Structure 1
Amino acid sequence: MMLKLVLAAGLAMSASLALGDPRPASPSPPIPAALAVDYPGVIDLKVDVSDTTRKVFKVTETLPVSPGPLVLSLPKWIPGEHSPSAQIVLMSGFTVTADDGRRLAWRRDPVEMTAFHVDVPNGVQSLTLRLEQPTAQPGGPVRIAVTPNLVLLKWTAVALYPAGYEVGRIRIRPTLTVPAGWSLATALDGAETTGATTRFAATSFETLMDSPVYAGRHKASFDLDPGSPRPVRLNVFADAPKDLKATPAQVAIHRRLVQQADRLFGGARNFDHYDFLLSLNPAVGYLGAEHQRSSENGYSSAGYFTAWDTAFTGRDILAHEYVHAWNGKHRRPADLWTPDYTTPMRNSLLWVYEGLTEYYGDTLATRSGLYSPEQMRQRLALIAANAQATPGRSWRSLRDTTNAYIMNSAGGTGSTSWLRALDYYEEGQLLWLDVDTLIRERTNGARSLDDFARAFFGVDDGDMNISTYDFEDVVAALNTVAPYDWAGFLDTRLDAHDRAPLDGLTRSGWRLVFETRPSAYVTAYEKDAEASLLTFSLGAEIGWDGQVKEALWDGPLHRAGVIAGTRIVKVAGKPYSPEALKAAITAAAKPGAPPILLSVKADDRVRLVRVPYHLGLKYPGLKRLTQTPDRLGQILSPR
């Protein structure tokens, strides 16, 4: 009897251990670390993007291999994207075939979803990979890549690489087929075209991933540096030939952009040629992405040239991406360099990588004439006003926003002023205005941030390799220009929770003011966004259809219970219109006026809202401080 009890107890204990004790899952097969060795042989890549009706990309990739375990990876951590890529969601039709015709099984890594394990049998010397995948649709996580008149090809979406090698040590030869009669533009070398198919020279996998292609039905190219041994070209794609007609004055402005960049960086160029790729397609929209020898740019209006005087917001995009050739591509924050596209990146210095680039993108845009000085002052006023109206600073520092894109690359939170997002761009720009004006003040105008830019970024002329930097390098370089406690200065502002960094604006000889009429820049912004910018009065940006795009946290509308996604259907009992709402805001500013009465729809119900706001319309502008030197004017003046 005792033996039975002991056995029963033992079985019960065993069952308890078997069912109750948590144990980690078996480790996934290893993904080889990237080594600084050459991959044997050359990969052959063929991509067909000619099916613009079904919007399908067809890919055939053949790579030399050796028997044994192999890991193939789709690029995930891509330089310039600041977050894991979403392209994996579209990867489909994936097959692996050996050179003897056998179909081989692949297994997705259970942890690293962009990696695929393949066992290469003995005797097999090459594999052929095939993809047949749709491209992005409106509203999805990936940007539109195909329209009836345009294809934007990112090689990172269609090419896999063998893990275990630095991507700069893998050789690949690309071939691209586009719709018949179309033209293309890219920084890739050695193009040989037969019919609709172009074969490029073999290059490194790293260079290929950094060399996107635009192809389209209608294209115009402009030489921005005539006679230069390192040419710079502007390649523009549009839906209609009329949208490609640039005036000589407009071409001259873009040429001055190249000249002003040369003067800023002392003539050093870390590229052998450079291609601006620019789409004028509303479906593709506004975009910018930097590369060593090119940049992807998109303007949300077809009127980049034809509506030059009115459709000017965002015209700094070319200048911004061009500056990245120096800051971001050649010189790069150390934690943003990785040997492959699987190793995670870190964004701790995006306030330099993007913030300083935003500063000089706007500065060069003005020095060249893409913006007039007045347009730039109006833009800067909006940037400063947005920074001032950021309640999220009370809990989240500017430094921490550098993590924002890793956390949420899709956006769409609707509470940006509280959550904060990519503030390292424009608030970073204000930080660098602070630095620039302080250098000018402390040196009595003898030195400026331009001296830092030339010494720190205008280096290694002709060298297209990557040179990394860290926080200490930035501080040391600033100290060579103007000795100061730059580490303390930067840390204080990066970690601040009290107020927006507007000291540089004041030191530049201007201050932020609010007026009852919108500036030309705000008017153009509203037209482009199809929304009323009422952030600084009612506390919201409201679409012309009445939908609240963004409600300022703890602003008048937000306090009344109106949040992003709510639709305003009536104003004081009458159907909503932008004009009616603005008139109601103006009327409520009169002495003794009642609150603004709105009918709003949210959560499938309509309710009345009374907004006790009585300060009228407010739009940002800049006013000159006559007792302070006009350092802003000096900064924006052409060199």
Structure 2
Amino acid sequence: MHRAVRYRVSMPRPHTHLLEVEASFPGGASVLDAVMPVWTPGSYMVREFARQVQDMTAHAPDGTLLPVRRADKRTWRVDAKGVAVTLRYRVYANELTVRTNHLDGSHAYFNGAATFLYTEDTRGLEHHVTVDAPSGWRTFCALGQRANTFVAQDYDELVDSPFEVGPHTPLTFSVEGVPHEVVVWGDTVQDPERLCADLKRICECQARVFGGLPMPRYLILLYLTDRGRGGLEHKASTALLFPRVGLSTNRGWEDLLTLVAHEYFHLWFIKRVKPRALVPFDYAKENYTSLLWAFEGSTAYYDNLFVRRAGLMSAQRYLTRLGETLTALHATPGRRVQTLAEASLVSWVKHYRPDENSPNSAISYYLKGEVVSALLDLEIRRATGDARGLDDVVRVLWQRYSDGSGVPEDGVEAVASEVAGVDLTPFFDRALRTTQPLDYSVFSHVGLELNFRPREAASDKGGTPPRNRAGEGKPKGWLGVTTRGSGTVAVVMDGSPAQDAGLYVEDDLVALNGWKVDGATLLSRCEERRPGETVRLTVFRRDRLLEIPVVLGTKPAEAAWLSRVERPTDAQKAAYQAWLGSPWEESPGQS
């Protein structure tokens, strides 16, 4: 028989949320150590998938039970005596995220890292999966098939190929002759034709950058839920979590398109061209790289840009969204504490494990990485007279490292300088390795300038000029907290009046100057007052009623927006059009 690792996954009792798994390993080892990954590629946090495994037994080919014991948190050790071993176990699957497993009466979704034991000795063999689906359910996976078995060339490909099982009818479209499927769970898409048409345009734009597609088929698994948003990229598929109510609004639809554009770009930029530190994956522990800013931040920059290039977002709307990103960056005090390179390196304990102090102590490599990627694109365009840009950087990286060898830690910087024709080390030193403010002067190359103003409401994301022109010059009182629920303090900003006065996270706000407030009215009541005024905040702290005087500060100008220069040169107009594909004279339209 062909030497391979074979799995069978069944779900005879979906309401128990238990996947039943058989894992059969070829003979040869006297002792077999079967292990579970502690993390899954694309999500840089130790998640301890072994915690969901139960009821482990080991069997010889004739069905005889073999001794099996737990060697450590992720290892089951079998006294194999050289024979082939079949392990039978159950995996609890009741966590609906793109990184974990979920089984109920409506479907099953499972990821390789959270489901399949492996051994280091057999990791490079083919891995075959047979799924016993309930009657009326179909199995969807991007892996190729032989008869009714899904075949992965090795364990890494298996981990990179999630499964969805359910009574679904997929949506389909084609990009450059490559079939694409969209499988939706949780609700129906009211306009499936529009969804397929829009996704096709975005995918085609990306394929043109790289000269074609790197896979024979592609699968989009879309999970519509009451809350939550996120995605996880895979070698020939993606899993997406998205709020179902978002599909009913133009902004929500746009957001879904940017999410798909983000994960699709990863086909090239992280799944095939990846940091050398991730080659090969070590599933037993953290894999450290300082390049996540490039692979995730640049992808975040491109997700909006490709929706724009596909003609599904106006140029002005794109600039508004970029302004919202800049606002989020400048509203994060942690940008003055953590460098972008460090944010990439310690994502394992920072980005994926946020707490109430994270805004004060850390910066997202997605967020700042997107801004730095935009500035890098413009720096290269300025240096080359718009002959080259970030597209050329990712193309060169694709040409050199698509063989899976991995990009060295200085590889992105070296290629960017090569493409630009100038040494970009000063740019990278400042952007990646210091907490100095970024240099935004390069926006002038495309006739834009960056402006800042105070936020006008708690929901103000920035990106647009001030709406309340009448009160534009009037300073507003500032407390410096964010709240959740009916008024529980969630974050106290570093250096804020609230911090100076001794307001704590988890304080329950009751009143301001004796009058009842909640999370929304608190901030507006503070803004009605002038900086320097003292207000009395009444709070419950661990069930004790306290009154805390706070001297209000001046609300910071952290909401950013990009405006056009008043007298653009012909060169600026041409550079703007080369960047965003829209004539300068075109009406800005609505943001």
The TM-score, its normalising length taken from structure 2, stands at 0.85
Task: Give the AA of the match of 2:550.
Answer: V
Tell me which moved more, 490-499 or 404-413. Answer: 404-413
Larger Rg: 1
Q: 1:68 touches 1:121 (CA, 8 Å); kept in 2?
A: yes
Task: Give the AA of the match of 1:347.
Answer: T
- Return the match for 2:451 from 508, 512, 521: 512
**Alpha carbons of structure 1 residues 68 and 439: separation in structure 2 relative to 1, 3 Å:** same
Task: Give the AA of the match of 2:78.
Answer: V
Q: 1:588 touches 1:596 (CA, 8 Å); kept in 2?
A: no
Q: Does 1:257 align with 2:202?
A: yes
Once the two structures are superposed, residues 594-629 of structure 1 have per-residue CA deviations (whole angstroms, 9 ceiling, x without a partner) of 434432333332322333335469672414140563
Give 2:40's aligned residue. Answer: 78
SS of equivalent residue, structure 2 residue 183:
strand
- Return the match for 2:221 from 258, 277, 281: 277
Q: Does 1:637 align with 2:587?
A: no
- Return the match for 2:417 from 464, 479, 502: 479
Q: Does 1:448 align with 2:386?
A: no
Task: Give the AA of the match of 1:296.
Answer: A
Give 2:177's aligned residue. Answer: 229
Q: 1:335 touches 1:346 (CA, 8 Å); kept in 2?
A: yes
Q: Does 1:114 align with 2:74?
A: yes
Distance 1:98 1:48 in 2: 20
- Return the match for 2:190 from 234, 245, 269: 245
SS of equivalent residue, structure 2 residue 214:
coil
Give 1:498's aligned residue. Answer: 436
SS of equivalent residue, structure 1 residue 431:
helix
**Alpha carbons of structure 1 residues 473 and 638: separation in structure 2 relative to 1, 3 Å:** farther
Q: 1:260 touches 1:638 (CA, 8 Å); kept in 2?
A: no
Query: What is the deviation of 1:336?
Result: 1.2
Give 1:33's aligned residue. Answer: none
**Alpha carbons of structure 1 residues 619 and 500: separation in structure 2 relative to 1, 3 Å:** closer
Query: What is the deviation of 1:134?
Result: 1.9
SS of equivalent residue, structure 1 residue 548:
strand
Q: 2:478 touches 2:527 (CA, 8 Å); kept in 1?
A: no
SS of equivalent residue, structure 2 residue 452:
strand
Give 1:132's aligned residue. Answer: 90
Query: What is the deviation of 1:411?
Result: 1.6
Q: 1:536 touches 1:619 (CA, 8 Å); kept in 2?
A: no
Structure 2 counterparts to residues 149-160 of structure 1, below 5 A: 149-160=106-117
Distance 1:304 1:262 in 2: 27
The TM-score, its normalising length taken from structure 1, stands at 0.79
Q: 2:383 touches 2:421 (CA, 8 Å); kept in 1?
A: no
**Alpha carbons of structure 1 residues 380 and 605: separation in structure 2 relative to 1, 3 Å:** farther
- Return the match for 1:308 from 245, 250, 261: 250
Distance 1:392 1:345 in 2: 24
Q: 1:397 touches 1:494 (CA, 8 Å); kept in 2?
A: yes
- Return the match for 1:288 from 201, 211, 231: 231
Once the two structures are superposed, residues 330-381 of structure 1 have per-residue CA deviations (whole angstroms, 9 ceiling, x without a partner) of 1111001116533752222111121111111221133235544444333322
Distance 1:610 1:145 in 2: 49
- Give the gaps of 5 or more residues in structure 2: 464-475, 584-591
Distance 1:152 1:565 in 2: 36
- Return the match for 1:606 from 534, 545, 552: 545
Query: What is the deviation of 1:413?
Result: 1.7
Distance 2:47 2:10 in 1: 22
Q: 1:519 touches 1:621 (CA, 8 Å); kept in 2?
A: no
Query: What is the deviation of 1:308?
Result: 3.3
SS of equivalent residue, structure 1 residue 429:
helix
SS of equivalent residue, structure 1 residue 407:
coil
Distance 2:164 2:485 in 1: 33
Give 1:200's aligned residue. Answer: 150
Distance 1:62 1:424 in 2: 40
- Give the gaps of 5 or more residues in structure 1: 1-38, 193-197, 525-534
Q: Does 1:382 align with 2:320?
A: no
Give 1:468's aligned residue. Answer: 406
SS of equivalent residue, structure 1 residue 96:
strand
Task: Give the AA of the match of 1:605.
Answer: R
Query: What is the deviation of 1:310?
Result: 5.0
RMSD of the alignment, in Å? 3.4
Q: Does 1:145 align with 2:102?
A: yes
Query: What is the deviation of 1:322?
Result: 0.8
Q: 1:48 touches 1:58 (CA, 8 Å); kept in 2?
A: yes
Q: 1:366 touches 1:373 (CA, 8 Å); kept in 2?
A: yes
Task: Give the AA of the match of 2:165.
Answer: A
Give 1:530's aligned residue. Answer: none
SS of equivalent residue, structure 1 residue 275:
strand
Query: What is the deviation of 1:289?
Result: 0.8
SS of equivalent residue, structure 2 residue 172:
strand
**Alpha carbons of structure 1 residues 67 and 491: separation in structure 2 relative to 1, 3 Å:** same
Q: 1:517 touches 1:618 (CA, 8 Å); kept in 2?
A: no
**Alpha carbons of structure 1 residues 152 and 310: separation in structure 2 relative to 1, 3 Å:** same
Q: Does 1:328 align with 2:250?
A: no
Query: What is the deviation of 1:523?
Result: 9.8
SS of equivalent residue, structure 2 residue 54:
coil
Q: Does 1:350 align with 2:308?
A: no
Task: Give the AA of the match of 2:109.
Answer: L
Q: Does 1:185 align with 2:135?
A: no
Distance 1:484 1:536 in 2: 46
**Alpha carbons of structure 1 residues 550 and 520: separation in structure 2 relative to 1, 3 Å:** closer
Give 1:434's aligned residue. Answer: 375
SS of equivalent residue, structure 1 residue 406:
coil
Structure 2 counterparts to residues 507-546 of structure 1, below 5 A: 508=446, 509-517=448-456, 522=461, 538-546=479-487
Distance 2:256 2:550 in 1: 33
Q: 1:571 touches 1:580 (CA, 8 Å); kept in 2?
A: no
Equivalent pairs, count? 565
SS of equivalent residue, structure 1 residue 160:
coil
Q: Does 1:573 align with 2:514?
A: yes
Structure 2 counterparts to residues 618-637 of structure 1, below 5 A: 620-626=559-565, 629=572, 634-637=578-581
Once the two structures are superposed, residues 253-306 of structure 1 have per-residue CA deviations (whole angstroms, 9 ceiling, x without a partner) of 2111112102222x23221221122111126x322111111111111x113433
Q: Does 1:87 align with 2:49?
A: yes
Distance 2:444 2:544 in 1: 47
Task: Give the AA of the match of 1:133.
Answer: V
Distance 1:516 1:389 in 2: 10
Task: Give the AA of the match of 2:482.
Answer: E
Distance 2:444 2:543 in 1: 47
SS of equivalent residue, structure 1 residue 303:
helix
Structure 2 counterparts to residues 3-82 of structure 1, below 5 A: 41-49=3-11, 51-82=13-44
Distance 2:485 2:526 in 1: 16
**Alpha carbons of structure 1 residues 52 and 521: separation in structure 2 relative to 1, 3 Å:** farther
